[in-house]
Chain A
Amino acid sequence: MVEWLSTYNDIMGMYNAHIITTIAGAFFVTFAVCICWGKMVETFGPIGGMMCAAIIVGTFWVMNHKLPGFGINPEGLTAADGKGMQFGLIAQTGPWVDMGWAIGMGLWVLSLIESKPKDRLPNIVESTPRLLFVILGGIIGGAIVGLSGFTGAELFGWGNSPVFGQ
């Protein structure tokens, strides 16, 4: 078991232990959002939603995405075998995978199951363009911010990171 967990899985690009932690990390944050966020908004109004941003997303970010370090490039730490060290539950195998994917998927599945059986197919059809436009908007915003990489500004040495490029 220990041997299997600490084996590097070439197909997945992560240690086998990370298969478990990635699913679990995505599950934890999504479950907390599904259960708590609506109730907090019901109880406190918009302030409740803004509190949730801090106490759910902020706290679960520490668990899922933390990269220990202070003013350095912490994800640049390499293990003895040259592979990148991962500290969060959600493994990063390439371009950044955020727990936002899990939250979006979880709320989508939740509302799919909660809608009446006869409404499910029309609801999927209705939600697909909205889903694609949200993803398109995210790509536009993220790509525009990413353009700052073309200005030569390189403070913390991202370029040496095993996770973020070689």
Chain B
Amino acid sequence: MKHVSTVIGSAICGALVFGIWPEMWKSYGIMGGWLAATILISIAWFMNHWLGVITNSDGRMWIDQGWAVGSAGVAWAIVRFYPNQLFVKCIPALVLCLIGGALAGVAAVAVKKSVPAFQTQADDSDKEDSNG
């Protein structure tokens, strides 16, 4: 059942983003794109991650709705502009995108270890661990 809710939540997220975002920037320009992020990602995040429709549990790997948005973008373009779009054409940009994201994840871990704002939190969680 948790996988069903994951599929439903990510399908809604992907459909929202690619049903509305392109129309918003075509109608209202760059500010439309910014506004689309506000109205779409906020409600999708609230549903998928704050309420937990996409299954994530503490101490496990975080599966973000970004995966859903990314795969929806590829699927949307392939279906919407059939037969002009082939999946192989997006692989270079996709790989570069994943490399950049992975580098940022590594960098964020390193930065979190040195930035003071994250130090107290780390201490608190250690205490909780030792208590619990």
Contact = CB atoms under 8 A, between A and B. Distances in A.
With most chain B CB atoms within 10 A of its CB, the pick from A114, A129, A148 is: A114
Contacts, number: 366
24 contacts: A14-B92, A19-B96, A22-B97, A25-B100, A26-B96, A35-B115, A49-B50, A53-B40, A58-B36, A94-B91, A95-B87, A96-B77, A99-B66, A100-B73, A104-B65, A104-B66, A106-B102, A109-B101, A127-B60, A131-B63, A133-B6, A137-B13, A137-B68, A143-B79
A109 B15 contact: no
A72 to B, nearest CB: 8
Given A97-B93, A108-B64, A110-B62, A156 B26 contact: yes
B54 A110 contact: no
Interface of B, secondary structure class, is helix
B44 to A, nearest CB: 8
Interface of B: 3, 6-19, 25-30, 33-38, 40-46, 49-50, 54-56, 59-82, 84-94, 96-109, 111-112, 115, 117, 121
A53 to B, nearest CB: 4
Given A97-B90, A102-B104, A146-B75, A137 B111 contact: no
Interface string A132-144: 0111111111111
Nearest to B55: A130
A135 B72 CA distance: 8
B67 A104 contact: yes
A151 B36 CA distance: 24
Interface string A53-64: 110011101100
A23 B99 contact: yes
A5 interface: no
